[in-house]
């Protein structure tokens, strides 16, 4: 496995991780260009440098300047230079309290001076333990300790983070990822196992409140689960690796997330080709803790408007598709056959799609695409209802980032099966599951 690219992204993410660490009044945080920097507080010096990119990019947007990577690089360089200057001003002051030390460390961080940022935050943490500043300082320590190969110091910092408040699961996840990757590269697999487990715990905690960040949630869950499974494999605990990925697959049904299910299933099949991939759909809870998201619909085609909650007592198949999608078209005859075979036994099929801005290889407005969809449905003899969304809320709510993808819901409103593709095996299994639920 290659994790270098992922770690680079994490390191980049840290560059703006603390931009909103403190909840302060606007007049305290704002520093205008005309202000004498020697008159600014430590916090204002930091906010002046940290907010430089945002201010400049707002100016570029007002000027309607096109994106230019050279301009972006130059602006980032200017930000670092400003941070260096402000750090020098702050450091030169004859008397400093621990609050000043914190902002000095943050300025070094913005300036990209890892050695000084690490040394300064070490000094700050000698006098601080709880609070936003202390927890942010530990983030900085973990980042630069790992970059310097000081893994033990990073572990001590993240342990301290876990025992103090406030805590942010996203921050905890990032720190644990850095340590997990360092342990992987050092072939310290017991350490990798421990910190990947903590990564997964942080990702689960994040998922509880990340309803508007579904794909970020899935990325965190999958990456931590995959790393933990790999650590188990490396320590000759294949059964634990399988258990970890099975847990992710069960979680994908609870969320729901077709993307998480598909990727966790693929990873499980790689680790254990003989695994029974269908057992995850057995023994589902009698009542789902979280009802499935209602569908967002702008237009219905050949179907009276209906909510999922109004379809209790029916077996419902949500088929996410697009008119331009070749694999989707492969599944259409099967959907038609299932509709005709089981419609009188309680099966309801809903084709879930959205406007894509094109059709028949030409651009289309939503109104034109709706006409095209109606004609497409008629030409292909699709007898079930289709719903169209002007947006991507449904994809987001069901974790759909590839199509076709289908979600099979039983008469109690429980998600019982996810079909993430159009292979012959997938189509056959979906047909078997439909019959099973219809006969229940």
**What pLDDT is recorded for position 287?**
65
**What contacts 223, CB < 8 A, 6 or more positions away?**
6, 177, 199, 203
Q: Which CATH class is domain 1-167?
A: mainly alpha
| Rg of the Cα atoms in the chain | 26
Q: Tell whether the model's pLDDT for residue 10 goes beyond 50.
A: no
- CATH 1.25.40 domain locations along the chain: 1-167
Determine the average pLDDT of the residues in 100-117.
98
User: What is the chain's length?
Assistant: 440
Provide the CA 164 distance to its chain's centre, in angstroms. 25
pLDDT at 21: 41
Q: In the predicted model, is pLDDT for residue 270 greater than 60?
A: yes
For the segment 344-400, what is each residue's pLDDT rounded down to a tens digit?
Answer: 999 999 999 999 999 989 999 999 999 999 999 999 999 999 999 999 999 999 999
- Answer for the pair 86, 37: CB distance below 8 angstroms, yes or no: yes
Q: Residue 119 has what pLDDT?
A: 98
Q: Considering the chain, what percentage of its residues have pLDDT values greater than 70?
A: 91
Please state the rounded mean pLDDT for residues 153-159. 98
Tokens 């002051």 belong to which residue? 93
For residue 318, which phi and psi values (nearest 5 degrees)?
Answer: -95, 115
Q: Which backbone phi and psi does 181 adopt, to 5 degrees? A: -65, -40
Residue 212 backbone phi and psi in degrees, to 5: -100, 10
pLDDT for residue 95: 86
Whether 325 and 332 have beta carbons less than 8 Å apart is answered as no
98-101, Cβ contacts within 8 angstroms, sequence gap of 24 or more: 98/124, 98/127, 98/128, 99/42, 99/43, 99/133, 100/42
| 24 Cβ contact partners less than 8 Å away, ≥ 6 residues apart | 43
Non-local (6+) Cβ contacts of 415 within 8 A are 253, 256, 284, 288, 292, 407, 408, 409
The tokens describing 329, both together, are: 């078209």
| Residue 173 in this model has a pLDDT that exceeds 80 | yes
Whole-number mean pLDDT of the chain? 91
Please report the pLDDT score of residue 290 as a whole number.
77
pLDDT score of 26 more than 60: no
Rounded Cα distance between 248 and 132, Å, is 32
The DSSP bridge pattern shows strands 385-389 and 299-301 to be: antiparallel
Tell me, what's the pLDDT at 111?
Answer: 98
For the domain with range 299-439, which CATH number is right: 3.40.50.300, 3.40.50.1110, 3.40.30.10, 1.10.490.10?
3.40.30.10
- Please indicate whether residue 266 or residue 37 has the higher confidence score (pLDDT): 266
Q: What is the pLDDT of residue 283?
A: 78
Segment 332-336 shows an average pLDDT of 97
pLDDT tens track for 203-244: 999 998 887 898 899 999 999 999 999 999 999 999 999 999
pLDDT range class, residue 288, cuts 50, 70, 90:
low
pLDDT tier at 15, thresholds 50, 70, 90:
very low
pLDDT for residue 278: 87
The helix-helix angle for 98-111 and 132-147 (nearest 10°) equals 40
Q: Report, as an integer, the average pLDDT of 7-29.
A: 40
Backbone angles phi, psi at 269, to 5 degrees: -65, -30
CB 402 within 8 A of CB 261: no
How many other CB atoms are there within 10 angstroms of residue 262's CB atom?
23
With a pLDDT cut of 90, the percent of the chain lying above it is 84
Assigned token pair, 149: 């190969």
Residue-wise pLDDT tens digits, 50-90 = 999 999 999 999 999 999 999 999 999 999 999 999 999 99
Every domain range in the chain assigned CATH 3.40.30.10: 299-439
């Amino acid at each position: 496995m290659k994790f270098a690219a992922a770690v680079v992204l994490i390191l980049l993410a840290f560059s703006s991780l603390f931009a909103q660490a403190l909840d302060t009044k606007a007049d305290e945080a704002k520093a205008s260009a005309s202000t004498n920097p020697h008159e600014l507080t430590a916090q204002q010096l930091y906010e002046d440098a940290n907010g430089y990119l945002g201010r400049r990019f707002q100016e570029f947007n007002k000027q309607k300047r096109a994106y230019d990577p050279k301009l972006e690089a130059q602006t980032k360089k200017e930000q670092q230079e400003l941070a260096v200057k402000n750090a020098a001003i702050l450091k030169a002051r004859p008397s400093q309290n621990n609050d000043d030390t914190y902002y000095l460390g943050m300025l070094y961080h913005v300036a990209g001076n890892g050695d000084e940022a690490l040394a300064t935050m070490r000094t700050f943490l000698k006098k601080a333990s709880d609070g936003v500043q202390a927890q942010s300082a530990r983030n900085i320590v973990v980042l630069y300790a790992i970059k310097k190969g000081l893994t033990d110091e990073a572990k001590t910092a993240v342990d301290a983070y876990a025992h103090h408040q406030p805590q942010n699961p996203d921050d905890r996840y990032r720190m644990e990822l850095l340590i997990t990757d360092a342990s992987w590269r050092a072939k310290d697999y017991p350490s990798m196992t421990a910190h990947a487990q903590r990564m997964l715990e942080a990702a689960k905690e994040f998922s509880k409140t990340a309803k508007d960040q579904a794909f970020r949630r899935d990325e965190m869950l999958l990456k931590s689960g995959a790393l933990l499974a790999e650590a188990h494999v490396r320590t000759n605990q294949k059964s634990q690796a399988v258990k970890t990925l099975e847990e992710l697959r069960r979680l994908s049904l609870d969320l729901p997330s077709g993307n998480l299910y598909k990727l966790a299933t693929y990873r499980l099949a790689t680790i254990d080709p003989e695994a029974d991939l269908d057992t995850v759909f057995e023994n589902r809870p009698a009542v789902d803790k979280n009802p499935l998201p209602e569908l967002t619909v702008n237009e219905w085609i050949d179907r009276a408007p209906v909510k999922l909650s109004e379809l209790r007592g029916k077996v419902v198949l949500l088929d996410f598709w697009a008119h331009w999608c070749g694999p989707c078209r492969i599944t259409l005859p099967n959907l038609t056959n299932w509709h005709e075979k089981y419609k009188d036994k309680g099966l309801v099929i809903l084709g879930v799609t959205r406007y894509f801005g094109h059709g028949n290889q030409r651009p289309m407005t939503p109104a034109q695409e709706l006409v095209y969809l109606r004609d497409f449905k008629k030409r292909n003899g699709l007898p079930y209802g289709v719903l169209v969304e002007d947006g991507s809320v449904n994809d987001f709510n069901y974790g759909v980032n590839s199509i076709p993808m289908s979600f099979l819901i039983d008469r109690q409103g429980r998600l019982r099966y996810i079909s993430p593709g159009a292979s012959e095996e997938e189509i056959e299994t979906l047909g078997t599951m439909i019959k099973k639920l219809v006969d229940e």
